[in-house]
Amino acid sequence: MKNPQTIVEKLNKHKRVAVALLVVLLALFWYLQHREPQKVAAKRPSERIPVSVALLSNAALRDSFSTVGTVQAFREAEIFSESTGLVRKVFAEPGTSKKVGETLFLLDDELAAARKRRAEALYRKAKRDAERYKNLYSEGAVALSASETAQLQLDEAEAEFTAASRKYGDTRVKAPFSGVVAARFVEQGELVQEGKRVAQMVDMSKVKVIIYVPELRIVKFEPGTLLTVTSDLYQGEAFTGKVASVSDKAGRDHTFRVEVVLQNSGHNTFRSGMFARVLLTGEGERQALFVPRVALVSGIRKPELFVVRNGKAYLKSFVAGMELQKQIEVLGGLSAGESVVISGQNELHDGSDVVVIEQQKGPAAP
């Protein structure tokens, strides 16, 4: 008969072996569960990303520049009251044309007129006294100090009369220039205070088109340069504008503010706030290389795109030149015959494997 102690020791030994085996199985199960995603991740880089490309080629280009600007009134002013009083009459209906100096509003002028008459009377009296004392002094009848005092009183009276006349004139709010009343902010019978905004006027006999020109092109925009202006509203019609001013300081995007002025008469006229296209036409043609704007993966300040070679996409930077609506001139970094990615680049990184699903020809002549 076996010793009971020996039997217990064998049972304990088998139990330890079973526990060890269970631990090994659990460890193997955990390893397999965590190893599978890594296998999948390891296979992903070998997957080929579908892309569309465009084949670059040279095209004939006329050395011109086109950009869209905003139309503004040639002159625009907010009109303020320089006097306090009730609005007695209104002559400023929105949309009406006014010539320079015409009355827009008539304020209560009773007190101002009374002060003007009193100042005028004192001025006439002081003027007569000064003339009389001057004659008496020349005859030796009065001292020089009396004549000088009379002259000082005349100067004071004249200043008071000038101020009173100005205050009386301020009761009539007048148009500062010839133009159109764009808005009115007070009504008849309303009490206005000095400094209150009462109307807005614009001069649309001419308009300004505000454009922003990149530094590579700004040398072409000298004051007096003639430009062509068009609008989608008046298709088929071209207007002639002239460069009026060029800013001496560029903005953060390295563009300069340019004002183009043109006459705004005739049947088709521009209004403030409209868009207009400004075209500078160059002389002659030249060959240039262009890339589609949609190929860019970053801004124009640091132009980059993907070039496809031997089934791989490589990130490449280039030197940008003239900007057109859908194309950008290449000054360096790319050459004709290269394929650039125009669709699918958001999934790419430098060196990605790709498959070309569509290839387009290079851009036509702009």
Q: Going from the N-terminus, what domains does the chain have, and what CATH number goes with each? A: 50-61+285-360 (2.40.420.20), 66-73+203-280 (2.40.30.170), 79-197 (no CATH)
What pLDDT is recorded for position 12?
A: 63
Report the distance separating Cα 226 and Cα 64, nearest Å.
13
The per-residue b/e assignment along 216-232, b for 16 or more CB within 10 angstroms, e otherwise, is: ebbeebeeeeebbbbbe
pTM value? 0.57
Matching residue, tokens 């907010």:
78
For the stretch 270-303, what's the b/e string if a residue is b when 16 or more beta carbons lie within 10 angstroms of its beta carbon? beeebebbbebeeeeeeebbbbbeebbeeeeeeb
Which pLDDT score, from 0 to 100, does residue 6 have? 61
Which residues, 6 or more positions from 188, have their beta carbon under 8 angstroms from its beta carbon? 87, 88, 89, 90
CA distances, 26 to each of 35, 155, 199, 360 (Å): 14, 112, 86, 56
pLDDT at res. 135: 92
Read off the tokens for 309. Answer: 């070679």
Whole-number Å distance between alpha carbons of 298 and 285: 30
Question: What would you report as the CA-atom Rg of the chain, rounded to the nearest whole angstrom?
Answer: 42
How do strand 312-317 and strand 304-309 relate by DSSP bridges?
A: antiparallel
Taking CA atoms, 130 is separated from 105, 138, 149, 159, 219, in Å, by 39, 12, 8, 15, 65
Spacing of C-alpha 52 from chain mean position: 34
The ranges of the chain with pLDDT < 50 are: 1-2, 36, 38-43, 45, 364-365
Q: Which of 200, 186, 202 is nearest to 106 (CA)?
A: 186
Pairing verdict, β 226-230 and 239-246: antiparallel
Say what the pLDDT of residue 253 is.
Answer: 82
